[in-house]
Structure 1
Amino acid sequence: MNYENYDPYFPDQPVVDLYLPLWANLPSFKSKPAFVWAEDGSTTVTKCSTLTYAQLNNSVQYISSQLLFPLQRGDTVVILCSPGLELVELIFGCQRAGLVCVPIIPPDPSFAQDNHHHLVRVLSQTKPKAAIANSGYIKSVRRYVSSSSAHNVSLCGLLQKLRWISSDDLKENNNVEYSKWSLSSYNGCKQDDVYLIQYTSGATGIPKPVLVRAGSAAHNVRTARKAYDLHPNSVIVSWLPQYHDCGLMFLLLTIVSGATCVLTSPTAFVNRPRLWLELIAEFKATCTPVPSFTLPLVVKRGGVDKGSKPISLRSMKNLIIINEPIYKALVDEFVDMFRPFGLNPLSISPSYGLAENCTFVSTSWRREGENFSLPSYNKLLPSARLGSGTGKGEEEEEDDVDIIVVNEDTHEPAEDEVEGEIWVSSPSNASGYLGHPSLTREVFQGRLNNKVSRCFVRTGDRGIVRGEERYLFVIGRCPDIIKLQNGKETHPHYIETAAYNSCPQFLRGGCLAAFEISRTLLLVAELQRTGGEIRVLRKVCEGIRKAVLKEENVDVGLVLLVKSGSVPKTSSGKIQRWAAKNKLLEGEMKLVMQMQFGDHCHNSTSLARIISYANEDKGGGEDKGKKIVAEDTGLSLSLSNAPIHLSLVSSL
């Protein structure tokens, strides 16, 4: 793909890390902030630390040289560090050292809260030679391993095999300036080298390790830079997790664009959503990526009238919304609230991405100056504009990114106005899943039937193309589709949205899960507060059923109200319906009330007995809670393994 860069004397580079020394050695960029870390100290004080392009380049060069003492080029390294500038330095340092990087959220080193499952998965699958963490974390891990109370033998064995590298030691003398640099002397990751293993979100199945080549990642962020029109004057604000998907991509995107990125932690945002608005105003941010749930959360808890710092969104050019589906009503509500604070509706940038394509796939946003309004379909906004005829945008006729909608059964292109699975072919496509050769062939080597074609990534997402501009709407995930008794299909997020809107004063937004068991539709909903009269909870259940029937013409067979925190989510806030279903059947859901309805009475009674049986016998024996049988229907449900599905991003 040929890209027009902002400076003809600054050509595009084959890998992202090669941009950094070029920027760092330009006189006007040496002291320019590359990354700013904002620590929310209180409701009025935000402490900031800065990393300039020169400082980052020097730190990365020193870290890479230190890592190559105990390790060899091509080794795999797990990074167990909290969000912050140190994590940024380590990610780029590993790339310059030619190492394969696996950044993950560090679990509590006491491992007392049963929070180590993903760490065990990562260590078992990626087989890293070393782990990088701060000295305090390493001491805690070693204390756990040597402790007699460490009952998890497999975890201890995996931790003991690792070479532990202290991040404090890697930064002792990184203030040395590396001014002499040339492309010929670069010994970091090459285009075809795997530089990153990032795990899928886990929204539709157990997270899987995706192999990302350095050249694919560079292509992906160059595509995103062009799509969002980012440049050295751009200022990005992000609170997304920096470990994978969109949060990691924006670290790379910052360097490729020569921009400045202001970072803070997801925890800081969730604790005080107004912080996001304050950072946009303080730094005059032009771009910010957020999951779709951010908008209603900020509308509800943004504290616009609270706090001493003024809010202004006049500088915003790209308010990037990720994590489909993207509801038009929620976007309109957010725009209406913040238009008086300078928000331009044209800045709204609905976008689409997935880990199997590095992250970014498309956006329906167009550069400022184009007077356009986004259409909607079935309450949703589009995530791409494919243009007429070829499946490629009008402005990208020479583009080598191809997005099509395919009939899932015939593997033939679907007609416009017909739903199908979204397929993506691009140099950004990842190499496959580590240790899953058959699944890699199925997902990463999709080909159209009866046609010579390039390989496509099968996203597992359901989409539809509509209108003269051929807007792509991402409607939902194929594995989550619910097949109704009348033969029709529906997407669970429509049911969940209608259910929440029936009782928003009692239910937690974004914390509902709809799924099917034994041909009966279940709706699990978290309560804002536990307790309350049975009469009130009964009305909540009845209200949910009536609202779903009215809005979606879908009959809910069983409503279950649960305690806050019961519905499983990914790190980016996506509902894990498959995990919620398993959790319910295994008797681990904290039930407050369950209510069965209507024509599903026979099946619903059986389901109620299944759930009750699972709860009563939780922990009763080796086989109890693993297989539940409904005696009067002959239904057998195996609960021993979680499903493996095509998984996406997101974006986050």
Structure 2
Amino acid sequence: MGGNSQSTLVSQLRSQFKVHADTHSYTFLHESGRDLVEEVLTYRQLDRDAREIAAWLASRPEAHRPVLLLFEPGADFWRAFAGCLYAGVVAIPAPLPHDQRSMGRVAGILRDADSSLALTTAKLRDLLAAGIEELGLARPISCVAIDDSPLAEAESWTMPHLAPDTVAFLQYTSGSTGDPKGVAVTHDNVLNNLAMIAETLSVNTDSTLIGWIPHFHDMGLISVVLGFFTGANVVAMSPLAFLKRPVRLLKAISDYRGTHTASPNFAYNLMARRVAPEQLTDIDLSSLEVALNGAEPVRRTTMERINDLLAPAGFAPSAMRPAYGMAEVTLMATVSRGVQRYLDADADALEQNRYRPAINRAVGLVSSGEPGPGTDVRIVSPENLQPLPDDHVGDIWLRSPSVASGYHNRPVETAEQFRANTSDGDGPFLRTGDLGMMHDGELYVTGRRKDLLIVNGRNLYPQDIEELVKELHPALADSLGVAISVDANDVESLVLIHAVKHRLLGDVSYPQLAATVKTAVARHFEVAAPGVVFVNHGGIHLTTSGKVQRASMRAAFLKGELDDVLHEELLR
């Protein structure tokens, strides 16, 4: 479904809200002690609230610029987001600031987007207004609560003119705090990606989507809009509710007969570690058709653990669907069609950017599936920009109607990332920044180019090192770590910075744990023993969606500014 069709994103949403006005809904599960209590917003109510907000936005000169949405997880965000869509106003889903670092991120977004209006709730308005005022921005920002009273009459709303290239929202990527980039996603991009996802994952009006991912994350945002687009039911909870008790997601799938859910790999890993088999006694997962796994490297061990844990509760192995995508392509580019495929790649060959079946050391690779309809995936040599054949590792480039129009107000970065051409002039393609290969028509992602560690002339992927270390001791298993390379005495060497849960150390001392890590990494990857730094959980820098910020951690290490250090044994 593209921009040439008569349907627009707004007309499609309105049509679904009208047909399913009182039979379908967005349900948010609020925490109340150990229980979750539902707040139900019918599609009739959501449509009315969106029209009220849209009619009001049409009268506000500040809405000619992108509008910041600062909300707690729940129905109010979706009222505001749908209102922006209905008004043809560019929305910015953003994380609520909770400290100085995250307030700095909001400041960076406001400067980059040149915004002058923020929507929020009465509960948060005064606090946010005071915080924003202290930022000393060049342009004043109005903070308006959408729940004080109806902002306008719903009946006064009129459908805006929406061209295919009208920007629907800015998805700010998890970059450095002061320099976030807004991916400008058009109405046509959203329509195309939603249609592709609905087709490949069989999402329709009989589906029920269950989720917990933040609304300011591309996977969390598009998952819910997908429900509206297809006329499905949507059930959601806050990230905190899920992270505190991961079994809650499984219980919601069971209670609401969920058909589709999505999470990054770390969340499935969390469930595999934190959900006990006895917690599944009354849980029935037989309704679940799709458990999307994307947004970060997908791990075979995690998928196998989930299958083993959840099979007795009716979880079908075919439900687990590894996928690949990013905000720059709206959300999804490739997805497994229900048969998981793995490769045991020879480590020596992979370090030379080739795939062959393992002879000695093996690296496990998971297929991210086939390209979606209309999606062209190319593997390109970074040296000469020539397309590479199957089983060769190179840069992943994408071409699709879902590829966003570029970065907001950043023509140079847009040209570099979104307008790439191969050596034979084919293009434009999106440079994803990821490395991977095609094999039997499916994409295998091997890592990010900027994260690649080059040690002794060999290409090592930090995720592989970090995964190994987690298996070495319970105090490391549930914690995050980051492998970086540094120049020590004119030699590129490894340093591993890892969070430790002190209460799980048992009789093992920090020096003993460090020795275990050094020996295991040196033997498995055939490198000199790495430097090791153990930190508390707060010492690992994370993005708003919970991914490790490797560049930020490396910079902090080099400056001697790591936080919460418990023990360190550095390179000599």
TM-score (norm 2): 0.90
Q: 1:473 to 1:442 in 2, by over 3 A?
A: same
Identity of aligned pairs, percent?
A: 25
Check if 1:310 corresponds to 2:293: no
Q: 1:448 to 1:120 in 2, by over 3 A?
A: same
Q: Give the equivalent residue in structure 1 for 2:145.
A: 166
- Cα displacement (A) at 1:203: 8.7
Q: 1:273 aligns with which of 246, 250, 253?
A: 246
Q: 2:328 aligns with which of 356, 363, 369?
A: 356
Q: 1:107 to 1:373 in 2, by over 3 A?
A: closer
Root-mean-square deviation over aligned CA pairs: 2.6
Q: Give the equivalent residue in structure 2 for 1:528.
A: 501
Q: Give the equivalent residue in structure 2 for 1:121.
A: 108
Q: 1:114 to 1:216 in 2, by over 3 A?
A: closer
Give the secondary-structure state (helix, strand or coil) at the position aligned to 1:454: coil
Letter in 2 for 1:63: I
Contact in 2 for aligned 1:96/1:189 (Cα 8 Å): no
Q: 1:332 aligns with which of 297, 304, 328?
A: 304
Check if 1:565 corresponds to 2:538: yes
Check if 1:67 corresponds to 2:52: no
Q: 1:136 aligns with which of 92, 115, 123?
A: 123
- Structure 1's unaligned 5+ residue stretches are 4-10, 147-151, 367-371, 387-392, 394-398, 597-603, 606-652
Matched pairs, number: 549
Contact in 2 for aligned 1:463/1:472 (Cα 8 Å): yes
Distance in 2 between residues matched to 1:80 and 1:594, nearest whole Å = 39
Distance in 2 between residues matched to 1:383 and 1:239, nearest whole Å = 22
Contact in 2 for aligned 1:352/1:360 (Cα 8 Å): yes
Check if 1:439 corresponds to 2:413: yes
Distance in 2 between residues matched to 1:157 and 1:189, nearest whole Å = 31
- Cα displacement (A) at 1:222: 1.0
Contact in 2 for aligned 1:462/1:478 (Cα 8 Å): yes
Q: Which has more radius of gyration?
A: 1
- Cα displacement (A) at 1:12: 6.6
- Match runs of 1:138-537 below 5 Å: 138-143=125-130, 155-157=135-137, 161-169=140-148, 171=150, 186-187=159-160, 189-202=162-175, 207-306=180-279, 310-366=282-338, 372-377=339-344, 378-385=363-370, 399-449=373-423, 451-466=424-439, 469-485=440-456, 487-503=457-473, 505-509=474-478, 511-518=480-487, 519-529=492-502, 536-537=509-510
Q: Give the equivalent residue in structure 2 for 1:649.
A: none
Distance in 2 between residues matched to 1:253 and 1:364, nearest whole Å = 18
Contact in 2 for aligned 1:320/1:351 (Cα 8 Å): yes
Contact in 1 for aligned 2:257/2:287 (Cα 8 Å): yes
Letter in 2 for 1:86: D
Distance in 1 between residues matched to 2:52 and 2:103, nearest whole Å = 31
Q: 2:29 aligns with which of 32, 38, 54?
A: 38
Distance in 1 between residues matched to 2:6 and 2:208, nearest whole Å = 22
Distance in 1 between residues matched to 2:515 and 2:220, nearest whole Å = 40
- Cα displacement (A) at 1:227: 1.3
Contact in 1 for aligned 2:263/2:293 (Cα 8 Å): yes
- Cα displacement (A) at 1:162: 0.8
Distance in 2 between residues matched to 1:254 and 1:461, nearest whole Å = 29
Contact in 2 for aligned 1:523/1:556 (Cα 8 Å): no
Q: Give the equivalent residue in structure 1 for 2:356.
A: none
Give the secondary-structure state (helix, strand or coil) at the position aligned to 2:46: helix
Letter in 2 for 1:494: D
Contact in 2 for aligned 1:357/1:428 (Cα 8 Å): yes
- Structure 2's unaligned 5+ residue stretches are 345-362
Q: 1:144 to 1:433 in 2, by over 3 A?
A: closer
Distance in 1 between residues matched to 2:28 and 2:535, nearest whole Å = 37
Q: Give the equivalent residue in structure 1 for 2:68.
A: 78
Contact in 2 for aligned 1:14/1:215 (Cα 8 Å): no
Distance in 2 between residues matched to 1:50 and 1:290, nearest whole Å = 23
Contact in 1 for aligned 2:342/2:367 (Cα 8 Å): yes
Q: 1:577 aligns with which of 550, 553, 559?
A: 550
Contact in 1 for aligned 2:365/2:446 (Cα 8 Å): yes
Q: 1:561 to 1:249 in 2, by over 3 A?
A: same
Contact in 2 for aligned 1:19/1:256 (Cα 8 Å): yes
TM-score (norm 1): 0.79
Distance in 1 between residues matched to 2:506 and 2:210, nearest whole Å = 44
Q: Give the equivalent residue in structure 1 for 2:17.
A: 24
Give the secondary-structure state (helix, strand or coil) at the position aligned to 2:469: helix
Contact in 2 for aligned 1:291/1:572 (Cα 8 Å): no
- Cα displacement (A) at 1:530: 7.0
Distance in 1 between residues matched to 2:131 and 2:413, nearest whole Å = 36
- Cα displacement (A) at 1:33: 2.3
Letter in 2 for 1:35: Y
Give the secondary-structure state (helix, strand or coil) at the position aligned to 1:461: strand
Letter in 2 for 1:316: L
Letter in 1 for 2:26: F
Q: 1:263 to 1:373 in 2, by over 3 A?
A: closer
Contact in 2 for aligned 1:40/1:275 (Cα 8 Å): no
Q: 1:203 to 1:363 in 2, by over 3 A?
A: farther
Letter in 2 for 1:340: P
- Cα displacement (A) at 1:323: 2.5
- Cα displacement (A) at 1:457: 0.1
Distance in 1 between residues matched to 2:529 and 2:432, nearest whole Å = 29
Contact in 2 for aligned 1:16/1:255 (Cα 8 Å): no
Q: Give the equivalent residue in structure 1 for 2:358.
A: none
Letter in 2 for 1:17: V
- Cα displacement (A) at 1:106: 1.6
Higher relative contact order (CA 8 A, sep 6+): 1
Contact in 1 for aligned 2:208/2:259 (Cα 8 Å): yes
Q: 1:144 to 1:444 in 2, by over 3 A?
A: closer
